[in-house]
């Protein structure tokens, strides 16, 4: 069994002055338990509970060590009674009975539990220590909410998914070990059990490796206090001790401390070592491992070189000594592969192995590392690109590019962890992007996270879905405070998605519970988003807009992108406006101007012609450089109404929503609206509706 050493201090995480308000139990607990039966009466906690523990001796010893911090009033000496039958109180005081048992009434999962509170006391039963642990998380929430008068009830509970995860990127910005342990404590309170630690990436290597000291002497340090400053300054690395250097890394002793902390909280840490791409920091200090042999030219390892595999296997050998996790994450995403096509070593590898494409070359590399891990008793997990070119049996796929990769992997017989960017990337904005702290991309409010179902009934191979994970990437998150702000309360929603069954989901009910837990988290020292004052969705998107051009024909001089069609050729006159997210009802134009002509059907009086556009720097979306609006009676001869220029800086990274329009008095049947792009290669224009009044 896993240890319960230092088990109960996490129960104090969200505790404080107990609230005596009587509210239904269902509106307190988060995540929502599988089954709650409310009984009549209450359990007063005015006297110490008599303790009984029915478990192996090692478990009893650990519980005795931890119980004083659990928050419940207990006998001072904490001497447990070993018994196969319920204890008989020596007086009228209520009891706390803890049991590990093979009981048919208990959930089959070792993480499940049964919690009974009556006037006689509390009984918590489980098949394993993890079940006791999660039962106490529930008991702690009840005690924190109801104080010294617990409601009589019976809860039978077990998780929907075995894998309930949080990912943290510490490469783009480094967060110290104490911060990590703080988040582990919150994870435990939410019944999350997998911490995916993104330890390496181009922005910094964060793990001490004895055999390769330059990784922490140089690859862990860079010029620029933030990821943005480093990026804009030419992505230059530095040395430890340089006064201008920023970054950091974890010593092996710190790693062991964090792993021990996680183990005590029934959390497994899954380390990620990026391969074969996202490795600019490694190749800056060991350039011979790249195809070019020169630093600063690529983030891809040379797959044709045996030195690459020697390096990675040596690194992983030390990683395996530190992390007992059955799974080891090897990245596998976003390899450019351009150097492989011309590299003599890679071409020779392809010839020798009978490979016909760089996708197959990547598959060779992934399979080879997978075999190495299997030989050491571990299992490989990677982002869904590891499917490209074929994947070895036994590998686990983490689906991030939507759900397609997960569905494909499940159909092929692979286990899957669902973490699509649409619902699980907590680096996106959670409220109005023009007022929120700088984030990366997209709009992901609490409601959308909560709505996610990782394994709907209609999904083929849904039994291969191990679980779900929230990801926090930190390009635009330089401080611990902002990291917590982005995590909470959205991680509360993901926790309920991971633990609770989707039947009976009710966002209003969850929102009430999340508000309470947010306040408790703040009282415990976490900086959270202010859910009580959430602005919500862009107002323009909440109701359809009626105007003169609604339903009118639109002729396009250049086509919209099929990726962002927003309804096709009627999207700009259907009365539907876009939300904060550019991926909704915004129509996208890639590397071309917006040049459309509207036919009103007859000559009409005109007072206004306007359209909204977005700038979202991280998604390569810009406001138009110039807008030209003109009108015609016959569709042949057009006269200008307005020419407008954009004054919002192209380099501004905060999202902007701007209207470009004309107001005045005129007449006409045909309206031509031209929005000229700024000319950046690969740039987008996004608009949602051309409004005519």
Number of H helices, E strands in the chain: 17, 25
Encoded tokens for 283: 């190749």
Euclidean distance between the first and final Cα of the chain, in Å? 71
Region 522-543 average pLDDT: 97
- Please report the pLDDT score of residue 14 as a whole number: 54
- Please report the pLDDT score of residue 6 as a whole number: 34
Q: Which residues pair with 272 in a beta bridge?
A: 198, 329
Angle formed at CA 109 by CA 131 and CA 256, multiple of 5 degrees = 55
Encoded tokens for 615: 């700038």
- Please report the pLDDT score of residue 391 as a whole number: 81
DSSP readout, 92-127? S--EEEEEE---TTS-SSTT-EEEEEETTEEEEEES
Tens digits of residue pLDDT in 273-289 = 999 999 999 999 999 99
SS3 241: coil
pLDDT range class, residue 57, cuts 50, 70, 90: confident
Does pLDDT of 85 surpass 60? no
Region 294-301 average pLDDT: 95
Backbone angles phi, psi at 258, to 5 degrees: -65, -40
Q: Among 7-16, 32-41, 347-356, 593-602, whose mean pLDDT is lowest?
A: 7-16
Region 446-475 average pLDDT: 96
Q: Among 61-65, 393-397, 489-493, 608-612, whose mean pLDDT is lowest?
A: 61-65
Does pLDDT of 335 surpass 90? yes
Q: pTM for the complete prediction?
A: 0.93
- Please report the pLDDT score of residue 89 as a whole number: 52
- Please report the pLDDT score of residue 20 as a whole number: 38
Does pLDDT of 2 surpass 90? no
- Please report the pLDDT score of residue 1 as a whole number: 31
Region 112-134 average pLDDT: 95
SS3 375: helix
Q: Among 177-181, 204-208, 546-550, 581-585, whose mean pLDDT is lowest?
A: 581-585
**What is the pairing mode between strands 113-118 and 121-126?**
antiparallel
Cβ neighbour number for residue 296 with a 10 Å cutoff: 15
Q: Among 67-71, 125-129, 213-217, 258-262, whose mean pLDDT is lowest?
A: 67-71
Q: Active site includes 329?
A: no
Encoded tokens for 384: 């869904």
Region 431-447 average pLDDT: 93
Q: Active site includes 427?
A: no
CA distances from 494 to 64, 134, 504, 514 (A): 33, 17, 16, 11
Is residue 188 within 8 Å of residue 261, measured between CB atoms? no
Region 98-117 average pLDDT: 95
- Please report the pLDDT score of residue 56 as a whole number: 85
- Please report the pLDDT score of residue 21 as a whole number: 40
The sign of the torsion formed by the CA atoms of 177, 330, 464, 167 equals positive
Is residue 299 within 8 Å of residue 351, measured between CB atoms? no
Region 461-489 average pLDDT: 97
Encoded tokens for 209: 């490796």
Q: Active site includes 278?
A: yes
In the chain the domains, ranked by start, together with CATH numbers, are 8-157 (3.30.379.10), 163-208+249-266+395-533 (3.20.20.80), 539-692 (2.60.120.1190)
Tens digits of residue pLDDT in 5-14 = 333 445 445 5
- Please report the pLDDT score of residue 92 as a whole number: 76
- Please report the pLDDT score of residue 18 as a whole number: 39
Does pLDDT of 629 surpass 60? yes
Does pLDDT of 80 surpass 70? no
Does pLDDT of 525 surpass 90? yes
Tens digits of residue pLDDT in 402-418 = 999 999 999 889 999 99
Encoded tokens for 279: 């490795």
Query: Active site residue: 334, 359, 633, 653, which one?
Result: 334
How many Å apart are CA 690 and CA 683, to the nearest integer?
21
Backbone angles phi, psi at 168, to 5 degrees: -130, 125
Query: Active site residue: 278, 329, 414, 423, which one?
Result: 278
- Please report the pLDDT score of residue 58 as a whole number: 78
- Residue 652 parent element (H or E): none
452: closest CA among 387, 378, 385, 510?
A: 510
Q: Which residue has the tokens 């183990």?
A: 263
Is residue 484 within 8 Å of residue 527, measured between CB atoms? yes
Q: Which string of b and e fits 565-586 if b means at least 16 CB within 10 Å? A: ebeeeebbbbebbbbbbbbbbb
CA distances from 24 to 44, 158, 159, 607, 672 (A): 18, 21, 22, 56, 59
Tens digits of residue pLDDT in 346-403 = 999 999 999 999 999 999 999 999 999 999 999 999 999 999 877 878 899 999 999 9
Does pLDDT of 19 surpass 80? no
Mean pLDDT (the chain, rounded): 92
Query: Active site residue: 201, 263, 475, 688, which one?
Result: 201
What are the DSSP E strand ranges found in 192-305? 194-198, 200-201, 204-205, 221-223, 245-247, 268-275
C-beta pairs of 83-90 under 8 Å, 24+ apart in sequence? 83/52, 83/54, 84/54, 86/52, 86/123, 87/50, 87/52, 89/50, 90/50
Does pLDDT of 294 surpass 70? yes
Angle formed at CA 63 by CA 61 and CA 69, multiple of 5 degrees = 130
Q: Which residue has the tokens 């005596």?
A: 20
- Please report the pLDDT score of residue 3 as a whole number: 30
Encoded tokens for 562: 């099929």
pLDDT range class, residue 22, cuts 50, 70, 90: very low
Q: Which string of b and e fits 366-379 if b means at least 16 CB within 10 Å? A: bbbbbebbeeeebe
Q: What is the DSSP letter of 651?
A: T
Is residue 137 within 8 Å of residue 157, measured between CB atoms? no
Cβ neighbour number for residue 119 with a 10 Å cutoff: 12
DSSP readout, 37-80? EEEEEEEE-SSPBEEEEES-HHHHHHHHHHGGGSSS-B-TT--P
Q: Which residues pair with 329 in a beta bridge?
A: 272, 381
Encoded tokens for 524: 């415990």
| Percent of the chain topping pLDDT 90 | 86
Does pLDDT of 646 surpass 70? yes
Cβ neighbour number for residue 77 with a 10 Å cutoff: 8
Region 510-537 average pLDDT: 97
Encoded tokens for 335: 């390899």
Backbone angles phi, psi at 267, to 5 degrees: -115, 130
How many Å apart are CA 184 and CA 195, to the nearest integer?
8
Encoded tokens for 687: 């608009």
- Please report the pLDDT score of residue 83 as a whole number: 47
How many Å apart are CA 237 and CA 194, to the nearest integer?
32
How many Å apart are CA 470 and CA 85, to the nearest integer?
42
- Please report the pLDDT score of residue 62 as a whole number: 67
Q: Which residues pair with 413 in a beta bridge?
A: none
- Please report the pLDDT score of residue 74 as a whole number: 83
Region 317-336 average pLDDT: 97
């Amino acid at each position: 069994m896993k240890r319960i050493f230092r088990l109960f201090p996490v129960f104090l995480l969200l505790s404080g002055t107990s609230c005596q308000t009587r509210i239904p139990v269902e509106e307190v607990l988060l995540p929502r338990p599988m089954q709650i039966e409310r009984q009549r009466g209450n359990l007063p906690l005015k006297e110490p509970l008599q303790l009984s523990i029915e478990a192996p001796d090692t478990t009893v010893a650990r519980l005795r060590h931890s119980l004083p911090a659990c928050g419940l009033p207990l006998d001072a000496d904490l001497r447990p009674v070993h018994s196969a039958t319920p204890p008989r109180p020596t007086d009228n005081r209520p009891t706390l009975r803890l049991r590990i048992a093979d009981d048919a009434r208990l959930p089959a999962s070792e993480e499940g539990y049964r919690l009974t509170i009556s006037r006689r006391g509390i009984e918590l039963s489980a098949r394993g220590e993890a079940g006791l642990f999660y039962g106490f998380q529930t008991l702690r929430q009840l005690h924190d909410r109801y104080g010294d008068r617990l409601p009589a009830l019976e809860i039978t509970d077990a998780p929907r998914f075995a894998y309930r995860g949080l990912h943290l990127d510490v490469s783009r910005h480094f967060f110290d070990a104490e911060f990590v342990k703080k988040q582990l404590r919150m994870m435990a309170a939410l019944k999350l059990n997998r911490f995916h630690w993104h330890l390496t990436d181009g922005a910094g290597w964060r793990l001490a490796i004895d055999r390769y000291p330059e990784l922490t002497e140089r690859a862990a340090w860079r010029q620029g206090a933030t990821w943005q400053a480093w990026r804009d300054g030419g992505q230059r690395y530095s040395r430890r001790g340089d006064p201008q250097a920023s970054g950091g890394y974890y010593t092996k002793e710190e790693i062991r401390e964090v792993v021990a902390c996680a183990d005590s909280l029934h959390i497994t840490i899954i380390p990620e070592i990026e391969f074969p791409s996202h490795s600019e920091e490694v190749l800056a200090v060991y350039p011979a491992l790249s195809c070019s042999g020169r630093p600063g030219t690529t983030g891809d390892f040379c797959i044709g070189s045996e030195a690459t595999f020697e390096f990675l296997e040596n690194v992983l050998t030390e990683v395996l000594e530190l992390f007992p996790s059955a799974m080891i994450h090897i990245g596998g995403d976003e390899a450019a592969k351009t150097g492989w096509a011309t590299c003599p070593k890679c071409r020779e590898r392809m010839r020798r192995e009978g490979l016909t494409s760089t996708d197959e070359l990547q598959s060779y590399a992934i399979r080879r590392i997978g075999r190495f891990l299997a030989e050491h008793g571990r299992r490989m997990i990677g982002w869904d690109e590891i499917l490209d070119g074929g994947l070895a049996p036994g590998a686990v796929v983490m689906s991030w590019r939507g759900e397609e990769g997960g569905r494909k992997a499940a159909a092929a017989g692979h286990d899957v962890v669902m973490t699509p960017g649409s619902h699980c990337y907590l680096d996106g904005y959670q409220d109005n992007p023009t007022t929120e702290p700088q984030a990366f991309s997209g709009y992901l409010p609490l409601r959308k996270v909560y709505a996610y179902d990782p394994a709907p009934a209609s999904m083929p191979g849904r039994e291969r879905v191990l679980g779900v994970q929230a990801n926090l990437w930190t390009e635009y998150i330089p401080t611990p405070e902002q990291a917590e702000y982005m995590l909470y309360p959205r991680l509360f929603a993901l926790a309920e998605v991971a633990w609770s069954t989707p039947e009976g989901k009710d966002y209003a009910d969850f929102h009430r519970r999340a508000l309470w837990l947010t306040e408790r988290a703040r009282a415990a020292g976490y900086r959270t988003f202010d859910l009580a004052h959430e602005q919500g969705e862009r107002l323009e998107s909440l109701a359809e807009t009626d105007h003169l051009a609604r339903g009118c024909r639109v002729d396009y001089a250049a086509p919209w992108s099929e990726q962002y069609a927003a309804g096709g050729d009627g999207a700009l006159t259907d009365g539907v406006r876009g939300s904060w997210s550019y991926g909704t009802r915004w129509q996208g134009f890639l590397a071309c101007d917006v040049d459309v002509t509207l036919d009103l059907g007859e000559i009409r009086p005109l007072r206004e012609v306007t359209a909204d556009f977005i700038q979202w720097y991280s998604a390569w979306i810009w406001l138009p450089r110039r807008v030209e609006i003109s009108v015609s009676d016959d569709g042949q001869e057009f006269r200008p109404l307005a020419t407008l220029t954009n004054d919002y800086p192209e380099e501004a990274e905060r999202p902007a929503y701007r209207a470009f329009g004309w107001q005045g008095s005129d007449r006409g049947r045909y309206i031509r609206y031209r929005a000229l792009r700024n000319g950046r290669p690969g740039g987008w224009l996004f608009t949602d509706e051309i409004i005519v009044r």
